[in-house]
Amino acid sequence: MASSAGVQNLTSSITEPPQSKSMRQVLSVLVQNQPGVLAHVSGMFASRGYNIDSLAVGETENPLLSRITVVVRGNERHLEQVRKQLEKIVTVVKVQDISGADFVERDLMLLKLKATPADRPAIQSLVEIFRGRIVDVGPDAIMIEISGQEKKVEAFIEAVRDYEIIELARTGRIALVRGGRTPDGVVVREAPEEEAEQPVVHGHSHL
């Protein structure tokens, strides 16, 4: 006969709902190209304790709009809250969850390595294997540019760990869905009507 403690543990394992699986979500957020927009978006994440894996922002083909690509992790309920909170921001035009779409994703990195003349042939071979570029050469250091998927960039970092990494800078991930249309079938070309006639256009540096 099972003990009361054993029965209680068995009952708990049946009645308690399993915890939602943590997943990675890529959000493409179109925003009005105005001063303070990036501060509003990043402030929303910070105030609610949402953890951001990556955030990149830049002007789109329409100078009145900028695109913010955000990579976040969490369970389904947590990520749904992120989308809803973003949509409440006045300057946000459209929020797209492109995680399940066929999209192209890139991350750009500049990396400065300490490199003696004897080390440079081996480093150059690694750069060629990863299809990167050497963009600057100094007396005792070289600067390398690598672009590609996140796993490629991180693999290159691991490959050069034996050399001294002086500095490293990454853009964060940017992504666009393949094909001519957005995931919901809407081609975004025009700015909001209230913004269309404004003569002043702010670059993404003002975000």
Which helix (H) or strand (E) segment holds residue 32: the answer is strand 23-32
| Burial (CB count within 10 angstroms: exposed 0-12, middle 13-18, buried 19+), residue 124 | middle
- What pLDDT does 77 receive? 83
User: Of the residues 73, 101, 129, which one is the last residue of a structural domain?
Assistant: 101
Same domain (yes/no): 87, 150 = no
Q: Is 3 inside a domain boundary?
A: no
Domain co-membership, 115 together with 129: yes
Contact 31, 40 (CB under 8 A): no
Dig out the tokens for 77 from the structure: 């309920």
pTM over 0.85: no
Indicate whether 93 and 28 sit together in one domain: yes
The domain of 165 spans: 104-175
Give the CATH number for residue 85. Answer: 3.30.70.260
Rounded Cα distance, 57 and 71, in Å: 12
* Per-residue pLDDT tens digits for 43-52: 888 888 787 8
Residues 80 and 113 in one domain: no
Q: Does 201 score more than 90 pLDDT?
A: no
Query: 171, 49, 38, 24: which is closest to 92 by C-alpha?
Result: 38
When divided into structural domains, the chain yields a total of 2
Please report whether residue 47 resides in a domain.
Answer: yes
**186 occurs within a structural domain:** no
Q: Is 74 inside any structural domain?
A: yes
Q: What is the mean pLDDT of residues 187-202?
A: 40
Alpha helix stretches (DSSP H) within the chain:
4-15, 37-47, 76-88, 120-129, 150-159, 193-196
Residue 145's CATH number: 3.30.70.1150
